[in-house]
Amino acid sequence: MRKGIDPTTAINLVRLYFDLPVPGGTDWFRDSFGETDASFSLIDNAREASVLAAGLLESAALDGKVYAALATLTTAAGGLREPKVRHDLIDAMRFAIRDKAVEASNQPPTDPKKITLPAQSKVSTEIEALLQSPELGKASNLLKQVNEEAAANVKTLTNQVFGVAVSLSAEVQKLREEVEMLWWHVGGWSRLLDKPFSAFDAGIAAVLAGIDMADMSRSATGPAATPAILHRTLAATSKGTTSKIAIQEVIDAFPQDQLDRLKLADNLVNVPEICPVLTAFLKAKEIGAGPAWHAAYARATGLEAGSRFSPLDLAVQAYRERLLLRVLV
C-alpha cells in the first residue's frame, strides 16, 4: 500500500485518520489488511484504522510525497480538527515539509568543471601506421572506429552539458522565486486583487497573502521560511496583531464581485473538508453573501462558519490549501 500511495489515496487516508467519511467507501483499505487478518473490520476497528492510516501517511511523507503531509495539515485546519489517535503526526508532517524544503534549498552549487574534454584519441597513431602501409580492410575498420569514437564523445559531452544545464536551471528558478517573493514582501501588494494589503481587513489580507505565496512557489513544499515571510508581511501591513478571526467574517467582508479573481481550482469541490478555508469562498460564490452559505459550508466541511483562525494561521492555511490543490490536478 505504501508504494501505491498517490494523491487520491493520500486524501482518503487523511479522511480515515481524522475519522471523516470516505467517498466511494473503504473496501480498498479493509481488503488490503483483510488479506492477513480476515476479521479486520472498519466498523469495529475505527481507531486501529486511524493508526494504520497515520502510519501510511507518515511513510508517504518520508518517501517524498509532499501531498500526504499537506493534506494532513490542511485537514487539521490549524487545530480546529483533531484526530482521535496519533496526535504527533501533525507535527511530524509539519517537520517533513520543512525538512524537504530545506533539503531542496541546500543542493550543492553547480560545478562547470564536470564538463571535461574527451580523452585523447588513439586513432591518430593507427592513421600514421596506415599511411605507411595502406590496406583497404584496415582503412575501413579505422573509419568505423573514428565514427564510434566521435559518437561516444558527443554522447558523453551532451550528458555532461545536460547535467550542468539542468542544475543551473534549477538554481536560476530558485533565485527567481526568492527575488519575486522578496519584492512582493517589500511591496506589500496583493497580486490577486492588485491592491496593497493595508487596504484590506486582517482576515482578507491573510488569505490573499497565503494564496500569493503559494502561486509564487515553484515546488510543492515552497520555501522553508514561508510562515516567517507571511508573518513579516502581515506585520508590515499592521495586520499581524489582530486576535482570531472567524471564517465567516473574512468571507462576508470580501468583495463579492472579486471572488472570480481568486481563481479557485475546479478540483476544490472534491475536497471541501480537506481545504476548509478556500471552500468557504467557493460556497459564498455558489450561494451568495451573508449567512446563506453557512449551513452548506458546515455540511461540506464538518466545520462551522464561525470557526476562528489567527491571521498567521489563516495565511498559512490558505497557502497550504492552494499548494495542495495544485498537486491534486
DSSP for 220-256, please give it. SS--TTHHHHHHHHHHHTT-SS---EEHHHHHHHS-G
Residue 175 lies in a domain: no
Residue 181 lies in a domain: no
The set of cell numbers assigned to 166 is 539542468
pLDDT at 279: 96
Q: Which letter, b or e, does each residue of 17-29 get, where b requires 16 or more Cβ atoms within 10 Å of its Cβ?
A: bbbbebeeeeeeb
- The string of DSSP letters for 39-76 reads T--TTT-HHHHHHHHHHHHHHHHHTT-HHHHHHHHHHH
Domain boundary among 81, 105, 129: 105
Q: How confident is the model at residue 282 (pLDDT cuts 50, 70, 90)?
A: very high
Domain boundary among 85, 105, 125: 105
Q: Which of 314, 208, 298 is nearest to 262 (CA)?
A: 208
pLDDT at 62: 93
Count of structural domains, the chain: 3
Residue 172 lies in a domain: no
- 284 and 226 assigned to the same domain: yes
- 119 and 75 assigned to the same domain: no
Q: What is the pTM of this model?
A: 0.81
Residue 37 lies in a domain: yes
Residue 233 lies in a domain: yes
Average of per-residue pLDDT across 66-87:
94
- 243 and 308 assigned to the same domain: yes
Element (H, E) at 190: strand 189-190
Q: How confident is the model at residue 242 (pLDDT cuts 50, 70, 90)?
A: low
Q: How confident is the model at residue 123 (pLDDT cuts 50, 70, 90)?
A: low
Query: Greater confidence, 141 or 327?
Result: 327
Residue 285 lies in a domain: yes
- 88 and 118 assigned to the same domain: no
Q: Which domain holds residue 135?
A: 112-167
- Which of 102-111, 226-235, 260-269, 320-329 shows the lowest per-residue confidence on average (mean pLDDT)? 102-111
- 277 and 216 assigned to the same domain: yes
- The packing angle between helices 66-76 and 88-105, to 10°, is 140
Residue 173 lies in a domain: no
- 192 and 297 assigned to the same domain: yes
CA–CA distance, 302 with 291 (Å, rounded to integer): 16
Query: What is the DSSP code (8-state) at residue 271?
Result: -
C-alpha neighbours within 13 Å on the C-beta side of residue 145? 13
Residue 38 lies in a domain: yes
What value does the CA radius of gyration of the chain take, rounded to a whole number of Å? 28
Adjacent-strand bridge partners of 308: 246
- 159 and 265 assigned to the same domain: no
Please give the angle made by the CA atoms of 237, 240 and 244, to the nearest 5 degrees: 140
- 70 and 160 assigned to the same domain: no
- 145 and 54 assigned to the same domain: no
CA–CA distance, 189 with 196 (Å, rounded to integer): 4
pLDDT at 291: 87
* Percent of the chain topping pLDDT 70: 84
Element (H, E) at 161: helix 136-187
Contact yes or no for 190/184 (Cβ under 8 A): no
Predicted confidence (pLDDT) at residue 167 exceeds the cutoff of 80: no
- 148 and 196 assigned to the same domain: no
Average of per-residue pLDDT across 254-260:
89
- 316 and 220 assigned to the same domain: yes
- 192 and 318 assigned to the same domain: yes
Average of per-residue pLDDT across 241-261:
88
